[in-house]
Structure 1
Amino acid sequence: MTLEEQVSLLAGVDHWCTTPVPRLNIPSLKVTDGPSGARGVGTLVGSKPTAAFPVGIALGSTWNKALLREIGVHLARETLDKGAAVLLAPTMNLFRSALNGRNFESYSEDPYLTGALGVAYVQGLQSSGVAATVKHFVGNESEFERSTISSDIPERALRELYLRPFEMAVREGGAWAVMTGYNRLNGTYCSQSPRLLGDILRDEWSFSGLVMSDWGGTHSAGASVRAGLDLEMPGPAKARATLLTEALKDEETRKAVRVAAKNVLRLIERTGMLTRPLDVSGEAERATEYPDTRSLIRRAGAEGAVLLKNNAVCGAPLLPLPAGVTVAVIGPNAAVAQVMGGGSSQLNAHRRVSPLEGLRDALGEANVSHAVGTFNNRYLPILQTPIHIEYLGQEGEVLATEIRLGSEVMWGILPAGIAADSFRARLTLTLIVPEEGTYDLSLFSAGLSRLSVQGKEVIDNWTTWQPGETYFGFGSDEIRERVSLDSGTYVVVVDFTPKVHDNGIAAFSAVRIGFQQPSPPTDFEDAVKLAGQADFAVVCVGTNSDWETEGIDRQGLTLPGDQDALVSAVLSANPRTVVLLQTGGPVLMPWLDDAPAVLQGWFPGQEAGHALADVLLGHVDPGGRLPQTFPARLSDDPTHPELPDVQYPGSAGHVEYQEGLYIGYRHIDRHALTPLFPFGHGLSYTTFSLGEVQVTTHEFRLDEALQVTVPVTNTGVRAGQTVIQLYVSSPDSRMARPWKELQAFEKVSLNPGETQDVLLELNFRSFAYFDDIQNVWVADPGEIHLLIGESSADARKLVTIRIMTQI
């Protein structure tokens, strides 16, 4: 290859594809977002339909490695249907803070659980020839100033917590690609850190795959290539626009370009694209819905649901709901299917089944009543109506037109001849007002916009535009106006033009029009009354993709709006009430003492309503166990706004990981706190007992493997699942360590009366810590406690062994 051809491979040709080299028959390699589906080239709201899988935290709740591997296989098929051979997934960052807006994408607060599930996901995906891209490497644990902030992480915490899942995905999973984080790590951008990409990833872990930047996350030409960043995305090259010139002048840069080009070619070869290149055009993307994938998503959604509480009412546990009863389904998340979070993981799901639909399908429509009671949306909902877009020239002439569905538009591929950074557009939709009354209209945009109704300007977001929290920080905040309208039809027009941002990231253009009639005061009371008239009530509360999204962090742990008041009122009206929570992380529950049953449903993918109904009605056992500690109060979280800003969310361009090793349950143990619900917690519809634990040796030498066998018996009358968790405690360690650390787990499914021996395997790394003085992994000789149970607060079995030698 010529040097020019080599350089061309090191930046994308467009938003999703690498640059082809026609002379040598080297095709474009197409990538697609991940991690909960394969979106294709479309925008976050305008892509072709595709399968929506449970989000990361819901999959983390399954604690099921075999299931994650199976999901990886199905995601590979979805990816290939979109003409892509690389999926930008899985997300391997940890839950350092409960307020991270992107926690829903990741698996867990624990590095071993995250790594083990990530390994399975990677292996399943790559078994079908689709590359996994483990991200965001490393230290992207919040969204605050994520493009520039320096995550200042102590070495032991970096090695033992934040790097470990990536290490497992690379060394055990064999990941073919890694995506660097936007952030800096201890002062240096991850995308150009020689230590991170060279010393650790390449040399220590023997990574032979491709390293790509996050979108717009490349900050230099030759320096980033020399550091070990192979591919700048998206393209065409921006940070690397001068790379060829630099390479012609500098031999070291030329050598680095050659290595990076080989890494790009190796990924094209590994995915089979040299011999069977895919059609990477958006027109060739398929939107096939597969019955076996739909079934898998339903099963996975149910297996990730966590039964937090299930007290007896009239002598029997409230759940599962009995047959032949009437159920009132109440709340803002009842008839609206919350299947995913917001941001780059968004996609156009084949289906969106709500809890109301799922329960009506299972119980019959006549047995299920419904009321909303209150709203929980952060922004006014969009209108599902056609919107006509005209692209205008300098004199107002129409250059091109298109029609899209829905009152939110994100621009990706524009009509031919329309400049992405300077176009003008006029968007027109017809608003149907069913009855005379007061309504709310809203507008926000990444770009300048203004909205008029029947020719009269209502919202000016053009002359008064200010940056806000929408659209990854490129958009304004929402502007709302209340208008009085008669019944009938109205023409709504929005004028739009891009706003170019000088921040090193490609311009982003989008606009959203919201519309809603304010809720009458009687809605709350009517919902409570309806709940009291049914045999059982299911109150569906939580958040949605407005609140849980890439680009901004959560504002607290309280449910939005007056949902807590709705839950309390429904509990007072009907003692047989189940609280169904759908959030991307923990929330406070001031009504918990009064609630007999609480089910955490997360965002479980397109079959949400069916999966949750399966659990509520006892068709399947609730298979989920918490992958994240639910703190009793925000101040019990290891990082929260009451602490110095430099620890969270950050100050003066730095966020200091002052808590070190102590996040999640490690923090709970260190400070002797009582969580709302502990890490690993989850109830079943049956009960289990653990027998006598056996180990292959009580005198362990670190060049061997240790096998731990735990007999588990289903002592109830129903089939069910549990997760056997093994934590290691090292009281004789030379350096300070958390009181216990998860080092092995297995999920087991048992019929009534059945017993199974569960095998847990440990090795040197299960007992080791990172000695940041000697820069080596160490396991000190001495006593080790193996704590075995069904949650981090349940160490019902204790086995003591002794490490005999140090290596």
Structure 2
Amino acid sequence: MNEQHIDTLLNAMTLEEQVSLLAGASFWMTVPVERLGIPAIKVSDGPNGARGGGSLVGGVKAASFPVAISLASTWNTALVAQVGQALGQEAHSKGARVLLAPTVNLHRSTQNGRNFECYSEDPFLSAQVCVAYIQGVQGEGVGATVKHYVGNESEFERMSISSEIDERALRELYLVPFEAAVKEARTWAVMCAYNKLNGTFASENRRLLTDILKREWGFDGVVMSDWFATHTTVESVNAGLDLEMPGPTKHRGQKLLEAVRAGEVHAETLQDSARRVLRLLTRVGAFERPAPAEEQAIDRPEHRALIRRAGVEGTVLLKNDGVLPLDPKQLKKLALIGPNVQTAQIMGGGSAQVNAHYRVSPYEGIQAQLGEGVELAYEAGCSNHKLLPLLQGQLSAEYFSNRDLSGEAVSGPSVAQAEVMWSTEPAPGVNADSFSARLSTRFTPVEDGEHHFGLVSAGLSRLFVNGQLVVDNWGAWKQGETYFGAGSQEATGTLRLQVGHAYDVTIEYATPAEGVMGLRAVRAGVTLPLGTEHLERAAQLAASCDVALVFVGHNGEWDSEGQDRSHMELVGRQNELIERVASANPNTVVVLQTGSPVSLPWLDKVAGVLQAWYPGQEAGNAIADVLFGAADPSGRLPQTFPVRLEDNAAHAHYPGGNGKVRYGEGLFVGYRHHDTKNIAPLFPFGFGLSYTTFAYGGLRMSAESLQPGDTLTVTLDVTNTGQRAGQEVVQLYVRDERASLPRPEKELKGFCKVDLRPGETKTVTLTLGMRALAYFDDARAAWVAEAGRFEVLVGSSSRDLRARAAFTLQRDWVQPLERSQAAF
């Protein structure tokens, strides 16, 4: 269907039908117009998997890919495009036409709870990765939705806070990935952020949605709200918000009809938004190909292989004193220590999570790699949970059509584990909005001791053991950060249990009278806490082994949408565990799994450190591939690791207060801050070690003098000087030696990942346009590259520069915003 057909269809619609297109029908579906054969389409979260229309817990299984910070760590846009293509295929398996991804907000701080879901601190790297991702997704006929537009760099008060961002920082940093998504990738959808920008909600900010996005950049797709982020009728439609999600509508429908009839919204404005929705339906093939009604869990071998490869390429080797890669022939006994050994930490929390087909733990991955030749010994040492570990085992369920568990119970389907999120009626005939439930199971402890039980719930809950009330989250319910702020704090209770005895555990639940986003959920956990004796056991084990591998970090409870972190430390006693193990065995290697930089106070005491992030369902296999040298560690950091929290550029302004967060650091985020202020990082932006070595040489430029509008081509030779095949990431930074306005010391403007066999040399070619030399002059509302001398700096990180050359721009290049179509 072409534009003419869209216009014909639009002209055949009644005003009521046009209005109906501008809000969702349900949580994941748009509204159909059956009279004219206009279908509804399904949208789906999220960036590292296609969950489909199920809840955040359970649901149809899906492939879990590496999270965004891991993908950006690959610095491999061709690989990211393949991941995008696979995610488009995953979306098809769930009957979804639109994927709510990618997330391209910047790593302004290390504390953002959604740091893992975003690519980088650098706008150019974020832009190039997001372009590749979008092109991969949309190449499969699935719409990508770049988000969150704009200024959502923290989760603190995200529903209401105003991000106060100066024009230069907005243009040179935070808008750049969105601009690239529109101009280069031609994304089909954009999602507004929850927050305000400079005092106006993003979803009703006319300057953002119409002036910049639609007019200046020429965006012709759909602008949708984040879920429940539409606040007005007239203001949001007139600002350029096309689609209110989710449905049923709160601010469109009859309210919008009345606004049009009253002349508060022009018919042309309404038609433009309706046309954009029809255009999206056309682009995703909704008119020609009906989506399957049933969601499918298709575990594709090619996706398994791709996830493993992407997980490997995103793993960053931060330190290696020669212990890596491990040689199985030199090992008799290997210690696997830490809370992440037997738990596969594959993704962050929040709307990005999926019900993975499977999860490979580090223990399983290493065991598969080694076979029977090496003895594996395990100790947890300590824990790293935020919520008590989930109570495992099948639970029976019965429901009541009231909130006090009275009357006749209705049996429902059994529950696979003790976390449930209800999005529809829980059992036939039971009111989905007002019900209570009783979940029952039996728990058999494996050790004697004082067990801790915990409950969190969006709604009221309580837990009984053998009929005894142990956790009261009913009469003593307190608001917490769980379930996007709709849930409680974790309520806990203790009870001494005996090993081998089976105990009846009953969880009672009632839906909330009112709730954020209409969420209804409960989660029960149980644990026997680990004490100092477990740290000592871990150290003793390490002393008896050839090498000690310590698997530490966080999980989706700490790295999650809806909450930020207050510090940069590893949680619990993990730092103490590493110190003790390293003291017992000098061949200690730490494998970190976090969604952001953390402090490493023990760095000089260990032999090796790997940053593995959250690499998806193949986590253990990808980590083992790097540890044992089946693959070269070719990941490079997309975010600076500061020595301490106070070294973050945004530290003095984070997270804000009184309804505002001031981006007072301006342009100087990440390495720009460290370079300009001469603050040494723990690990610089772009850093990452390899199992081989590389030499740079022969830097050449296509010209030493440029005229406005010229393009500069930079070439250089890279040689693998080691004994193993490897991949090097060549990074090109640009330095303006003298500018009228303050500028960072240097800025990333090009990169290339190159595969090299031992002794092999390849020539890398990178191209710079005028925008690569320019800053944004807010007084002139224009991009400006000033006449004068520039340097190109080429190296393997922002602090490891191997070659440089200078050139001169003969005259000023000025590009006003209305003509801002230059390539990046």
TM-score of the superposition, structure 1-length normalised? 0.97
| Residue 134 in structure 1 maps to residue 146 in structure 2 | yes
Query: 1:782 is aligned with what amino acid?
Result: G
Matched, 1:763 2:776: no
**2:668 partner letter:** Y
Report the alpha carbon displacement of residue 390 of structure 1 after superposing the two structures with TM: 1.9
Query: Unpaired runs of 5+ in structure 2?
Result: 1-12, 814-824
1:303-336 residue CA offsets vs partner (Å, 9 max, x unmatched): 000000111xxxxx11100122131111001111
- Is residue 298 from structure 1 mapped to residue 308 from structure 2 by the alignment? yes
1:321 maps to 2:329: no
Aligned-partner SS, 2:666: coil
Equivalence for 2:256: 243
AA in 1 matched with 2:382? T
Aligned partners of 1:711 and 1:459: how far apart in 2? 65
1:147 is aligned to 2:159: yes
Question: How many Å separate the matches in 2 of 1:320 and 1:399?
Answer: 57
Q: What is the CA-CA distance between 1:9 and the residue it aligns to?
A: 0.9
Equivalent residue letter for 1:359: I
Answer yes or no: is 1:374 the counterpart of 2:387: no
Q: Which residue of 2 aligns with 1:261?
A: 274
Kept after mapping to 2: 8 A contact 1:500/1:507? no
SS state of the match for residue 698, structure 2?
coil
Q: Of residues 809, 815, 822 in structure 2, which corresponds to 1:803?
A: 809
Equivalent-residue separation in structure 2 for 1:249 and 1:661 (angstroms): 44
SS in 2 for 1:351: coil
Q: CA deviation at 1:493?
A: 1.9
Counterpart of 1:314 in structure 2 is none
Alignment partner of 1:173 is 2:185: yes
Q: For residue 368 of structure 2, what is the aligned residue in structure 1?
A: 361
- Matching of residue 606 in structure 1 with residue 614 in structure 2: no
AA aligned to 1:389 is: A
- CA distance in 2 between counterparts of 1:529 and 1:24 reads 73
- Match of residue 550 from structure 1: 561
Displacement of 1:389: 2.4
Counterpart residue number, 2:626: 615
Secondary structure of the structure 2 residue equivalent to 1:302: helix
- Pick aligned residue for 1:50 from 50, 62, 69: 62
What's the CA shift string for 1:546-603, capped at 9, x where partnerless? 1100000012111011111111111111111111111101111111111121111100
- Partner of residue 235, structure 2: 223
Structure 1 residues 678-730: Cα deviation after superposition (integer angstroms, max 9, x where no partner): 00000011111111211111111231221100110111111001111111111
Where structure 1 has 5 or more consecutive residues not aligned to the other structure, the ranges are 312-316
Q: Is 1:92–2:104 an aligned residue pair?
A: yes
Match of 1:125 in 2: 137
Please give the per-residue CA displacement for 1:326-361, whole angstroms capped at 9, x wherever unaligned: 311110011111000000001111111111111111
Describe the SS at the equivalent of 2:454. strand
- 1:687 aligns with 693
Q: In the alignment, is the contact (CA less than 8 A) between 1:35 and 1:91 conserved in 2?
A: yes
Shift of 1:639: 2.0
Q: After TM superposition, list the pairs within 5 Å mapping 1:636-655 onto structure 2.
A: 636-640=647-651, 643=652, 647-655=653-661
SS in 2 for 1:613: helix
Secondary structure at 2:478 match in 1: coil
Secondary structure in 2 matching 1:733:
coil
1:393, CA displacement in angstroms?
2.8
Match for residue 585 of structure 1 among 596, 599, 612 = 596
Cα offset for 1:256? 1.7
Q: Tell me which residue corresponds to 2:3.
A: none
Q: 1:93: Cα distance to partner? A: 0.3
Task: Measure the CA separation in 2 of the matches of 1:787 and 1:377.
Answer: 43
Q: Which moved more, 1:526-535 or 1:754-763?
A: 526-535
Residues 1:595 and 2:606 aligned together = yes
**What is the Cα deviation at residue 457 of structure 1?**
1.6
Aligned equivalent of 1:754, options 760, 765, 768: 760
> Residues of 1 paired with 2:551 and 2:197: CA distance?
40
In 2: Cα distance, 1:11 partner to 1:497 partner = 30
Counterpart in 2 of 1:211?
223
- Out of 764, 772, 781, the position equivalent to 1:775 is 781
What letter corresponds to residue 802 of structure 2 in structure 1? R
How far residue 520 of structure 1 moved from its aligned partner, in angstroms, is 4.8
Structure 2 match to 1:519 = 530
Q: Answer whether contact 2:237 2:265 (CA < 8 A) is retained.
A: no
Is the contact between residue 191 and residue 224 of structure 1 (CA under 8 Å) also seen in structure 2? yes
Secondary structure of 1:681 counterpart: coil
Q: Distance in 2 between matches of 1:506 and 1:98?
A: 28
Kindly indicate whether the alpha-carbon contact (under 8 Å) linking 1:21 and 1:27 is maintained by their aligned counterparts in 2. Answer: yes
- 2:455 alignment counterpart: 443
How many angstroms apart in 2 are the aligned matches of 1:417 and 1:670?
A: 64
Instruction: Quote the Cα distance in structure 2 between the aligned partners of 1:420 and 1:249.
Output: 37
Q: CA deviation at 1:491?
A: 2.1
The alignment status of 1:383 with 2:391, answered yes or no, reads: yes
* 3-state DSSP of counterpart to 2:258: helix
CA separation in 1, counterparts of 2:340 and 2:422? 29
Counterpart-to-counterpart distance in 2, 1:138 and 1:520: 45
* Aligned partner of 2:343 among 333, 336, 349: 336
Q: Deviations over 1:234-278 (max 9, x none)?
A: 100012241122222226343222111111110010001111020
Q: 1: distance between equivalents of 2:385 and 2:54?
A: 25
2:721 to 691, 701, 715: 715
Structure 2 residue 478 is matched with structure 1 residue 462? no
1:500 is displaced (CA, Å) by 4.3
Corresponding residue SS for 2:278: helix
Q: Secondary structure at the match of 1:709?
A: strand
State the one-letter code of the partner of 2:106. Answer: L
Q: Which residue of 1 aligns with 2:465?
A: 453
8 Å CA contact 1:222, 1:253 repeated in 2? no
Find the aligned partners of 1:701 and 1:23 in 2 and give their Cα distance: 59
Name the CA distance, whole Å, in 1 between partners of 2:94 and 2:401.
34
Q: Distance in 2 between matches of 1:803 and 1:605?
A: 46
2:319 is paired with a residue whose SS is: strand
Mean Cα deviation higher: 514-523 or 457-466: 514-523
Q: Distance in 2 between matches of 1:147 and 1:416?
A: 35
Contact 1:360 1:367 in 2 (8 A): no
Q: Tell me, what secondary structure is at the counterpart of 1:693?
A: strand
Deviates more, 1:336-345 or 1:514-523: 514-523
* Residue identity matched to 2:613: W
1:733 is matched with which residue? 739
Report if aligned partners of 1:37, 1:78 keep a CA contact under 8 Å in 2.
yes
- State the one-letter code of the partner of 2:549: V
Contact 2:72 2:129 in 1 (8 A): yes
Residue 501 of structure 1, CA deviation: 4.2
- TM-score normalised to structure 2 length: 0.95
In the alignment, is the contact (CA less than 8 A) between 2:401 and 2:434 conserved in 1?
Answer: no
Partners of 2:234 and 2:264 within 8 A in 1: no
Structure 1 counterpart of 2:89, one-letter code: R
Deviation, 1:494, is 2.0
Letter of the 2:341 partner, please give it: A
Relative to structure 1, the CA distance from residue 400 to residue 8 in structure 2 (aligned partners, 3 Å threshold; closer, same or farther) is farther
* Alignment of 1:272 onto 2:285: yes
Identify which of 95, 98, 115 aligns with 1:103: 115
Provide the secondary structure at the position in 2 that maps to 1:506: helix
Distance in 1 (CA, whole Å) between partners of 2:185 and 2:687 is 27
Q: Residue in 2 aligned with 1:532?
A: 543
Letter aligned with residue 174 of structure 1: R
Pick from 491, 494, 508 the counterpart of residue 479 of structure 1: 491
Q: How many residues align?
A: 792
- In 2: Cα distance, 1:491 partner to 1:186 partner: 54
The Cα RMSD (Å) is 1.3
- The alignment-based identity, stated in percent, is 52
